[in-house]
Amino acid sequence: MSKPKVAFYWGASCGGCEEAVVDLAEDLLSVVERVDIAFWPVALDFKRADVEALADGELAASFINGSVRTSEQAEMAELLRRKSQVVIAFGSCAQLGGVPGLANLHSREAILECVYQEAPSLVNEERTVPQLATHVPEGRVTLPSLLDSVRTLDQTIEVDYYLPGCPPPVPLIGAAVTALVEGKLPARGAVLAPDVALCAECPRSATKPERLLVKGFHRTHEVVADPEVCLLAQGLLCLGPATRGGCGASCIGGNMPCTGCMGPTSRVLDYGAKALSAIGSLLDSNDEEEIAALAGEIVDPVGTFYRYSLPASLLHRRAEPASRAGGSSS
Amino acid sequence: MPEAELERRFDPRIVAFFCNWCTYTAADLAGISRMEYPPGVRIVRLMCSGRVDPQFVLAAFRHGADGVLIGGCHPGDCHYQEGNYKARRRFELLRMLLRDMGIEGERLRLEWISASEGDKVARVCNEMTEQIRALGPLRLRAAPPRAGRPSAREAAGEGAGEPVVEEPVGEAAR
């Protein structure tokens, strides 16, 4: 029997997910023994035409990382969907929108203007902006367009499984590949990670007070954290109570609080709202003014609670100003 | 007000989460006392304002609310000792988050209303309706549907349909 074919693809991402695949280290060799990699832009020299030449459903699985921001990424996702029996959203960006998803705080027009016209480090005397098509002596060249907002993979194509994390933890990748090869994947739609909050596996959970209340939050550069004690109890904003485990608490191991890359557990609809709820209820005050002051210490609530999940959130992107009500709609 | 003007008028939809013990009882009192408040205020009774999950508020906005009102017992009066304090703490953070998401502060309001304050229910509902009427409807961009959730699709009785693709709009890049 021939080996199952798999593909890897990246959308709007940083390349860290690709690193995570390489981090399988020697285990990568046993993966390569069991599957044929048919497409992997970052590492192998296959082209889009090679994917197009495959029969529909010929790929056993596609691992797609990154969010979807350009027309090219959307097209590639659709192509890989057609050619694959199983599509796995790989990493926070594909699953929830990821850090690039914070661009949904701004309009596409504002982003293009900032990047190509206003950035202080910019040298663009001719005020060049990207064109969808340009004529040069050699002919007409084109660029993909920027979509109106950042989307998750499952806001673009149907997704069968999710591997959470920024990047996904190596043991979870290994387990997913093994389950795929052995035909032991769970029901479609599953997130391939434990369905409990990080606190459940945190090595410091014994030091979490019975009644956890916090008199304000420090930012990580402001204090030296005790390496043994629950970070929340030390006034560091750790999102462990609201975040799915399965990462081995590796950030906690580095004495850094959880920032929520593993996303929500299955009972949660909107990660940021749930994380905000968990953290908000810890503020140690019953006085309205003091509560407002303590809450005000969290300088960037959207960036804190939706660091990895704004496109997947209920609001999806920033609302349009009401003053423009009645103006041109999207 | 002339009829044509009434037709054009924007009547805000406000989802009101009222606690069972104080504010909902006060809303009952307002009704029994024949006090008037706008029909756009849709009340959801919860056992406690501490039960108001920020997800409820965002879901209300997502599903068409122009404002969300949370009503609970006065400080010290919570039937469950401190549910209203927890509501207050979450509310402060949520208000900051909504501000950064482009949703004006007037669209989320927290009020302590005891069971005897039917008049306060009517006053707050009237005030908030007028404030939001002045702001105009909440303009949230539609989120792309989640093409990819097999469980959600099956629950909705849909098969594997066309993937939903947002039209790329190219003006900015042209």
Inter-chain touch B82–A152, beta carbons under 8 Å: no
- Is this prediction's ipTM beyond 0.95? no
User: Widest CA span of chain A, in angstroms?
Assistant: 72
From residue B167, give the alpha-carbon distance in Å to each of A74, A165, A167, B105: 11, 29, 29, 32
Residue A95 identity: Q
Structure tokens at A165: 């994390």
- Is A329's pLDDT higher than 80? no
A233 near B CB under 8 A: no
Give the model's pLDDT for residue A1.
57
Where helices occur in A35-151 by DSSP H, the ranges are: 48-52, 71-83, 92-96, 108-113
Distance from CA of A25 to the nearest CA of B (A): 31
Structural domains of chain B in order of their starting residue, each with its CATH number: 11-135 (3.40.50.960)
A154 near B CB under 8 A: yes
Partner residue facing B143 (CB), from A81, A131, A316: A316
Distance CA B114, CA B111 (A): 10
Mean pLDDT, residues A205-214: 92
Question: Do B173 and A132 meet the contact criterion of CB atoms below 8 Å apart?
Answer: yes
For chain B, the C-alpha Rg in angstroms (whole number) is 19
Burial of B145-173, coded b for 16+ CB within 10 Å and e otherwise, reads ebbbbbeebeeeeeeeeebebbebeeebb
- What are the structural domain ranges in chain A? 5-99+148-181, 106-147, 198-305
pLDDT digits (tens, 9 = 90+) for A12-66: 999 999 999 988 878 888 888 889 999 999 999 999 999 999 999 999 999 999 9
Distance from CA of B26 to the nearest CA of A (A): 23
CATH code for A5-99+148-181?
A: 3.40.50.700
Chain B residues 92-151 with a CB less than 8 Å from chain A: 92-94, 96-97, 100-104, 135-151
Which has the closest alpha carbon to B87: B98, B100, B74, B99?
A: B74
pLDDT digits (tens, 9 = 90+) for A117-163: 999 999 988 888 889 999 999 999 999 999 999 999 999 999 999 99
Which positions in chain A touch B55 (Cβ < 8 Å)?
268-270, 273-274, 277, 314
B156 near A CB under 8 A: no
For A173, phi and psi rounded to 5 degrees? -65, -45
